[in-house]
Chains A and B, each alone.
Chain A
Amino acid sequence: MKFTSLAAGRRRRARVLAAVVSVAAFAALTGCSSSSSTPASTPAVSTAAASAAASTSGAAGQPTGSPLTVADVAPFSGPDAALGPTYLASCYGATAAINAAGGVSGHPLTCKSVDTRGDPADAVPAVNQMFATTSNLALVIGCTSDEAAAVVPIINAHKMAMFCMTGQSEFDSVHFPYFYRLVPPDLEESYAMVAIAQQLHYTKIALAFGNDIGSQTFIQPAIASLKKAGITLTTDQTLDLNATTFRTEAEAIVQSHPDAIMTEALGSADPTLFAEIKQLNGGKMIPIIGTSAAISPPFFKAAAAAVGASTFTAGFRADNLVTETSGPAFQAFSAALLAQQGKVPGATGDFTTYLSAPGGVHLYDGINLAALAMVMSKSTDPSVYGPDMLTIGNGASGATICPSFASCVALLNAGKSIRYEGPGGPTSFDGYHDSTGIFQIDTYSANGAVNVVGNLTAAQLRAVAG
């Protein structure tokens, strides 16, 4: 059916189209794409329990009683949008508990979200804006693999301490004085996934990882590790996180007949892939081995909605760092975090899942370590309090172990030497400020609750290290 019967009209329109089609395509690919054009940061949000308890031990660099800000630099939109709220939940929990215990030498802590959209191009201006507009910044958390390579040097140049949730191996050996990490390098997580496959006697594995930086870093270590473990790699599929279907990739996976799929493709990619695999595999789901990033309420919610909760959970495993599930550290963490239920912007799904989410646990510990170091050093300047984080985390000889900010600060005020051991377990920082623990194997119940079903020893990881 043609609409333009006049040749002149067609020529005019063709000229207009020629001009606009390039703009349109460019706009759709860049301006409208998932990560380029949003306001970079959201207004600072005060934690619910911000109490400005008076203190006479004023901290250097900040007026007594003025609030200090913890910035959550992470994706709040785009494919990895689930990460930002996870970290924000830990920030809300930690700062509320710290404020309830009198704050950091009288300074209440607040949380601020800085949306990187999971893209270095958005992250850099967002971080620059954060520094330009946040005069009372005391700590940065987040900085995932999506944006760490771009923003860590900037944050470091501003001499601001950061606890990053990146597993990128470049941070294993490049020293940034203000960079701290309580999560393992991605290659260790790759080994952990292979160790899970080995433990479950899988002999054929398919890989399906997103095309984002954070997911791509798993692939080569995983391939090498699979080879060392004697497990056959059936197919390696890269999922474009902006694509809307993965039927061809799913078909390739199904046709390769793997025992399980190792995957990390956040946003809507993995849930869509799961649904298509189920469809193409005669209604049966192939077992999934996910990374620790899969332990988050939004991921469970999306995956369960895509294939059904019971189908998804039946064959799902994920590696995760060992975290406490009982004891005083866990109780303090649990009470602090669960008190924030319904208060954290963007947090969806079963809030209790955050008790096991890597970001939830380890950033809670990171904020506590920083706050205690500020108290110990009587300074909010990272160049001053930074070294004390190592002292408190690793513990000096004869140090008293304490499980929460309140108990630790009481010991500090009593003149005791302390070692903080939070819900993430003991800390052991190396020369690059990396501290990684051992892994556990997590599953989901059909209601979204996280279960620990096994552990992976260091020997098991070494055995499959590629």
Chain B
Amino acid sequence: MTIFLASVGFGLVTSSVLAIAAIGFTLQFGVTDVLNLAYGAVMIAGAFLAYLLNSHGVNVWIALVVAVAACAGGSVLLNAGVYAPFQRRGTAPITMVIVSLGMTLIIEFGVQAIAGGTSVSYAMSNGPTVSAGGFTLTAAQFAVIGLSLLVMAGTHVLLRYTKLGKAMRATAANRTLARNCGIRAGRVIAATWAITGALCGLAGVVFAMDAGSFNATSTDLFLVLILAATFLGGPGQAYGAMLGAVIIGLSTEISAAYITPSYKYVIAFAALLIMLGVRPTGLLGKAA
């Protein structure tokens, strides 16, 4: 029972980091129609920017804010400079995936060229450790879980109650119709890149905090988990991404507790494949 509760605790932390990333990823994809595989690379770029500041004495939580802002700006530029020109030319979606893959390598190896290939860590305190009934989490991990809950709540408020959120939903549903209704789709898309870029930066720094030690390619496997959470919940579905993140995060950690940890990703992806076989549109996606 103790190991089960412990693994549930670990799973919640993993789910929290994954949820922040997956919400940003699915929002980005849903509104902009770009399956941005460079998302993980932007995450690690944000993590390294925070590391650069942190290594010069800046508190990691302040560095996080800077990284969030930088990734928001960077994502807007990434779209304006790379993806939007391709989209304007009517580039096929599969080609856009290849473009984003190219951007992944450019960003990732650019970071590596600057920061080096070795692993780094933030100088930060994880705070006191709280243990209760098998759960063993640090204050920093509770903060990550709290941040994740804030992001989820903020996403709900944004999409449900704000003008921008409603415009994002309209643009996602039908960009041409949204334009005809007076929505400035271009601005909405730019705002989406900024918001999801900010979430990407946030995810990158909390990912690095959670990992403890990271390098330029650390998010490679994590990107696959983001994709899994996104598709499990239903692509374009913000709530689906949250649910998918919880399922993937918990299933990897709980399965690792009872079978060899080497199989934890196998279990998670087997579940994903079965789910997609039964319900191709994801848990919260409506059947076509």
Per the 8 Å Cβ criterion, residues 13-63 of B in contact with A are 13-14, 30-31, 35, 37, 40-41
List, in ascending order, chain A residues with CB within 8 A of B37's CB. 24, 27-28, 32
Contact flag A282-B257 (CB < 8 Å), given A9-B173, A18-B280, A76-B117? no
| Complex: chain A residue closest to B227, CB-CB | A24
Tell which of A45-53, A239-247, A316-324, A397-405 binds the partner: A239-247
Q: Assuming A33-B221, A348-B118, what are 4 further A-B pairs, CB within 8 angstroms?
A: A7-B286, A21-B227, A244-B207, A248-B253
Q: Measured between alpha carbons, how far is A275 from B129 in the docked complex, in Å?
A: 12
| Complex: chain A residue closest to B27, CB-CB | A3
List, in ascending order, chain A residues with CB within 8 A of B101's CB. 27, 31-32
The 3 nearest A-B residue pairs measured at CB:
A81-B117, A3-B172, A305-B121
Q: Does residue A69 face the partner (Cβ distance < 8 Å to B)?
A: no
List, in ascending order, chain A residues with CB within 8 A of B6's CB. 251, 280
Q: Measured between alpha carbons, how far is A44 from B215 in the docked complex, in Å?
A: 25
List, in ascending order, chain B residues with CB within 8 A of A2's CB. 234, 236-237, 284-286
Q: Does the CB pair B286–A32 fall under 8 Å?
A: no
Q: Measured between alpha carbons, how far is A301 from B221 in the docked complex, in Å?
A: 24
* Interface residues, chain B, with chain A CB atoms under 8 Å away: 2-3, 6-7, 10, 13-14, 30-31, 35, 37, 40-41, 93-94, 97-98, 101, 104-105, 108-109, 112, 116-123, 126, 129, 131, 136, 138, 155-156, 159-160, 168-169, 172-174, 207, 210-224, 227, 231, 234-239, 253, 256-257, 260-262, 264, 280-281, 284-286, 288
Q: Does the CB pair A251–B159 fall under 8 Å?
A: no
Q: Does the CB pair A5–B123 fall under 8 Å?
A: no
Q: Measured between alpha carbons, how far is A23 from B92 in the docked complex, in Å?
A: 14
Q: Does the CB pair A1–B280 fall under 8 Å?
A: no
List, in ascending order, chain B residues with CB within 8 A of A77's CB. 112, 117, 216-217
Chain B interface secondary structure, helix, strand, loop or mixed? helix
Contact flag A10-B280 (CB < 8 Å), given A1-B237, A268-B211, A279-B126? no
Q: Does the CB pair B262–A3 fall under 8 Å?
A: no
Q: Does the CB pair A34–B30 fall under 8 Å?
A: no
Per the 8 Å Cβ criterion, residues 300-328 of A in contact with B are 301-302, 305-306
Q: Does residue A211 face the partner (Cβ distance < 8 Å to B)?
A: yes
Number of interface residues of A (CB under 8 A): 71
Q: Does residue A25 face the partner (Cβ distance < 8 Å to B)?
A: yes
Q: Does the CB pair A16–B93 fall under 8 Å?
A: yes
Q: Does the CB pair B227–A25 fall under 8 Å?
A: yes
Which of B121, B169, B261 contacts A302, CB < 8 Å? B121
Q: Does the CB pair B117–A346 fall under 8 Å?
A: yes
Which of B159, B212, B218 contacts A276, CB < 8 Å? B212
Q: Measured between alpha carbons, how far is A268 from B121 in the docked complex, in Å?
A: 9
Q: Does the CB pair B93–A20 fall under 8 Å?
A: yes
Sample (25) of A-B pairs whose CB atoms are under 8 Å apart? A1-B237, A13-B235, A14-B280, A17-B235, A20-B35, A20-B97, A21-B227, A23-B97, A24-B97, A24-B227, A27-B101, A32-B104, A32-B217, A32-B223, A37-B105, A244-B211, A245-B212, A249-B261, A252-B257, A268-B218, A275-B212, A279-B129, A298-B118, A305-B121, A346-B118
